[in-house]
């Protein structure tokens, strides 16, 4: 093994370790924010998904999260009871309803993420625009790969349930 190869392997191992650390930190941060808001961490993730994607049907929420439609409906009920979402008539299909994030509650959730944006800005100051562009490109490709793996895992789990069910 050449010295160059072992250095690359070492860097890749470090990237993997830090990626896992970042993922764990994201889960712990989400949990801490959810606790402060008095909601379940999964409910916060669903609210965040609605903030990113806009109003969705219960079926679309289930599809995006990998939850069953029953579990998605249970989470929607909890979020509605807590005042975070509302059900509105789907203007494109009168037979369905959309789950919409209430903007006033979204703003209160967003307050917890402002300090993290400041941290990112502070950390980013140490890098040139070119370096940040490379980091961004890596993160985009990595996130796309992770999303594909999540979709594969959900698909495999659904196929297994159908075989066993």
What is the CATH classification number for the domain harbouring 19? 1.10.10.10
Q: How many domains does the chain have?
A: 1
The larger pLDDT score, comparing residue 86 to residue 104, is at: 86
Q: How high is the pLDDT of residue 162?
A: 67
In the block, residue with structure tokens 């967003």: 110
142 in any annotated domain? no
Q: Is the pLDDT of residue 107 over 70?
A: yes
Q: Is 111 exposed, middle or buried (0-12, 13-18, 19+ CB in 10 A)?
A: exposed
Report in angstroms the alpha-carbon separations of 119 from 6, 18, 48, 122, 125: 33, 17, 20, 5, 10
152 found inside a domain = no
CA-CA distance, 74 to 58, in Å (whole number)? Answer: 10
- Residue 157 resides in a domain: no
- The predicted-structure confidence for 8-66, as pLDDT tens digits, reads as follows 999 999 999 999 999 999 999 999 999 999 999 999 999 999 999 999 999 999 988 88
Residue 37 domain flag: yes
Residue 69 near residue 83 (C-beta atoms within 8 A): no
Judge whether 147 lies within some domain.
Answer: no
**The pLDDT of residue 154:** 81
Question: Is residue 109 a part of any domain in this protein?
Answer: yes
pLDDT band at 148 (very low <50, low <70, confident <90, very high): very high
**Boundaries of domain holding 37:** 3-126
Is residue 165 in a domain?
A: no
The pLDDT assigned to 163 comes to 67
What's this model's pTM, rounded to 2 decimal places?
A: 0.79
């Amino acid at each position: 093994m050449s010295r160059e190869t072992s250095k690359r392997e070492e860097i890749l191992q470090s990237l993997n370790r830090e990626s896992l650390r970042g993922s764990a930190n994201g889960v712990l941060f989400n949990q801490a924010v959810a606790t402060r808001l008095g909601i379940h961490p999964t409910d916060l993730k669903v609210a965040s998904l609605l903030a990113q994607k806009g109003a969705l049907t219960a079926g679309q929420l289930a599809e995006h999260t990998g939850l069953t439609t029953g579990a998605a409906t249970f989470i929607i009920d909890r979020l509605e009871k807590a005042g975070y979402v509302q059900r509105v008539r789907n203007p494109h299909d009168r037979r369905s309803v959309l789950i919409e994030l209430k903007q006033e509650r979204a703003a209160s959730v967003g307050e917890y993420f402002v300090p993290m944006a400041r941290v990112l800005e502070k950390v980013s100051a140490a890098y040139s625009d070119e370096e940040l562009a490379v980091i961004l490109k890596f993160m985009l490709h990595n996130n796309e790969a992770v999303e594909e793996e999540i979709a594969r895992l959900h698909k495999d789990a659904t196929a297994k349930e159908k075989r066993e069910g």
